[in-house]
Structures are given as structure tokens and as C-alpha cells.
Amino acid sequence: MLTYETIKMLCKKKGVTVTGTEKALGFSRGSLCKVDTSKPSMEKVQKLADYFGVTVDYLMTGNAPHKEKAQGLTAKDERDIAKDLNNIMQKLTSGEAGPASYDGEELDPEAADLFRDELELALKRLKVINKEKYTNKRYKK
């Protein structure tokens, strides 16, 4: 069941007030304070989940694993990451800058795939961090 304590905790984590959340989502004032005694519609619950970047399951139970959605990556960001990743892997496999090796041994295809996966994760994290750090305050949501 959706509880006010869960909403307060998510608001604190996001750095907003409950009233500010109500305004941002277009809810009436005080509506989130009454979630313990009333039954909000699934539409409202879904809006809350999207706003906080959590699953509806987490909002309803409060103890399900906190699964954050992909933070702030647009389709363009995904394309940029894929392009950068392909360029890096192309240089690695072509031997442009010398053979790819670790401890004097050449990189086998399985290790190259693992490296590609880890590099993709690192590029995604870096993109999110850079967007948060270098985006002007007036353009942030």
C-alpha cells in the first residue's frame, strides 16, 4: 500500500518538498498527505513512480528493490554512446594503435566482449554524470 512515509523519503532523496511534488505533478494541495487513508488512482501512482524514477511496485510496497530507471539518457545520448563505443572497439580490434594486449598476451575475443560491455556501462554513467554536472540550472527539471 502506498504510504506517506515512502513519498516523504523519496521527496527528501530527490531534494524536493511534498508540496512541490504535488505542484509539479498537478495534484491538488494536500492530496499526497492523504494517501494513507484514501486510495489514489493508478494514474496518480504511475505519475509518482515516473517522477521519482522508481517502479510502481516499489511505491506500493515500499520494500521492493529500488530500481531506478535509466537516468536522463535520451535516444540521442544512446546513439552517441553507441557511436563512441563502436569507434573505440574499431580502433581496438584493428590494431591502429598497436595490438590490444594485457600482461603481454593478446586480448582474446571473449575478453574483448567483456571489455565492450564494461566500457558501455562506464560511458553511460559518465554521460549521466556530465549531464548533471554541466547542465545549466535553468534547464534542469
Using 50, 70 and 90 to split pLDDT, how confident is the model at 141?
low
pLDDT at residue 131 greater than cutoff 90 = no
- d(CA 131, CA 78) in angstroms, rounded, equals 13
What pLDDT does residue 135 have? Answer: 80
Q: What is the mean pLDDT of residues 117-125?
A: 91
Let me know whether 50 and 90 are in one domain: no
Q: Phi, psi at residue 106, to the nearest 5°?
A: -70, 150
What range does the domain containing 133 cover? 75-139
**Which residues touch 35 (CB under 8 Å, ≥6 apart)?**
2, 3, 4, 7
- d(CA 137, CA 141) in angstroms, rounded, equals 9
pLDDT at residue 1 greater than cutoff 70 = no
Q: For residue 134, is it within any domain?
A: yes
Q: For residue 104, is it within any domain?
A: yes
Query: Contact 2/60 with Cβ under 8 angstroms?
Result: yes
Give the CATH number for residue 26. Answer: 1.10.260.40
Rounded to a whole number of angstroms, the distance between the first and last alpha carbons of the chain is 28
Looking at the DSSP assignment, which residues form a beta bridge with residue 102?
105
Let me know whether 57 and 89 are in one domain: no
Let me know whether 80 and 132 are in one domain: yes
Q: What is the mean pLDDT of residues 55-59?
A: 81
pLDDT at residue 127 greater than cutoff 50 = yes
| Angstrom distances, CA of residue 13 to CA of 7, 19, 117, 140 | 10, 15, 30, 16
Let me know whether 45 and 91 are in one domain: no
Number of compact structural domains in the chain: 2
pLDDT in tens, 65-118: 544 444 578 889 999 999 999 998 888 878 777 777 777 788 788 888 888 889
